[in-house]
Amino acid sequence: MTWDAFFELVEIKAKTASIFPFLLGILYCLWNLPAAPKDWGSWLIFIIAAFLFNMAVDANDNYQDYRRALKNGAEKFRLETNVIGTRHLSLSQVGWLTVALVAGGAMLGLWLVARTGWPLLWLGIFCFLVGILYAAGPWPIAGLPVGEFFSGFTMGTMIMLITVYVGVGASQTLTAPTLTGVLLASSPLAFAIGALLLANNIADWQEDLTLHRHTIVSYLGQRGGLIFWYLLYLAAAGGLMASAALHVLPLLSLLALICVPKVVKNCRAFTALPEKKPSFHLAVQNLAIISLCVTVATGLGVLFRF
């Protein structure tokens, strides 16, 4: 397996979904809990573990889709769309690679539990189950109408919450103000991550029906899915403004709204041709732009304490 094939298998271009919520979690601690001691070592271990597990989830998604295509006779999808078929990868090799990535992430996760306490184990188990069941099992989460919620909540909110937990400890994290603050502060990235999965489902909705995947687009239709897609971006902007208004994030985090014209431009281009190859990269670009702008703007707010 070449590096190019590996990066495509694990969908390396979408890894902003794990990096930026992590960075935003650190900034949240620096803004809201400036006096609390920070465990930078645990933060380093966590981002490596999250990155490994994120790669494992995407590799497993491609693996399960390929097997499902074999079972359902979806030869066009198997040979022309799925990376295992287009790159002529060994199915067993992909399976063992996924196991290795999961094992690496799990071992680092257990090390973190030993460093920070048992509550992390339950947070980790939730994320682990969502990640595995995202593509595996009789009813994969990715093929259900709740896929957008679980992807956004797990990759956006839970990663940020765990970042806060491993950085400042349970006594600072497991409180009502911190839990509600993290839920609100993570909402811009959580909604943007959910929008990425929705764009994928909009582009693939015909193939998903062939693979017996009943995503939310199969209920709303492609037009309804596009309307819902726009609403997720509006919710992301609303979450950012609410976070700044309530001082959960710095006021300077509102500078992230500078990305709105570019996001709208990409949305219009995707809406005109909502297909995988010509325009899905625009949804990936939207996630990267939103995540980068929110993180940089929040970082400036933390730096200048405004």
For residue 89, give the CATH number of its domain: 1.10.600
Lowest mean pLDDT among 18-22, 62-66, 243-247, 280-284: 62-66
In terms of average pLDDT, the best of 8-12, 31-35, 96-100, 180-184 is 180-184
Number of domains in the chain: 1
How far is it, in rounded angstroms, from Cα 159 to Cα 127? 9
How crowded is residue 63: how many other Cβ atoms within 10 Å of its Cβ? 23
Domain that holds residue 157: 3-304
- Mean pLDDT value across the chain: 89
Whether 77 shows a pLDDT value over 80: the answer reads no
pLDDT score, position 212: 72
Say which residue, 6 or 32, is predicted with more confidence: 32
Lowest mean pLDDT among 49-53, 78-82, 141-145, 170-174: 78-82
CA atoms within 13 A on the CB side of 263: 24
Per-residue pLDDT band for 42 (boundaries 50, 70, 90) equals very high
- Specify the pTM: 0.90
Residue percentage of the chain with pLDDT more than 90: 58
Lowest mean pLDDT among 54-63, 74-83, 163-172, 260-269: 74-83
Per-residue pLDDT band for 142 (boundaries 50, 70, 90) equals confident
Per-residue pLDDT band for 218 (boundaries 50, 70, 90) equals confident
pLDDT tens sequence across 165-184: 999 988 888 899 999 999 99
pLDDT score, position 241: 98
Say if residue 40 is exposed, middle or buried (CB neighbours under 10 Å; 0-12, 13-18, 19+): exposed
How far, rounded to the nearest angstrom, does the alpha carbon of residue 81 sit from its chain's CA centroid? 22
pLDDT score, position 9: 86
Residue percentage of the chain with pLDDT more than 70: 95
Q: Could you tell me which residues come within 8 angstroms of residue 297 by beta carbon, excluding any fewer than 6 positions away?
A: 252, 253, 254, 255, 256
What mean pLDDT comes out for the span 134-147?
Answer: 82
How crowded is residue 154: how many other Cβ atoms within 10 Å of its Cβ? 23
How far is it, in rounded angstroms, from Cα 27 to Cα 163? 10
**Do residues 168 and 39 lie in contact, with contact meaning Cβ atoms separated by under 8 Å?**
yes
Per-residue pLDDT band for 187 (boundaries 50, 70, 90) equals very high
In terms of average pLDDT, the best of 17-31, 94-108, 211-225, 235-249 is 235-249
What mean pLDDT comes out for the span 174-198?
Answer: 95
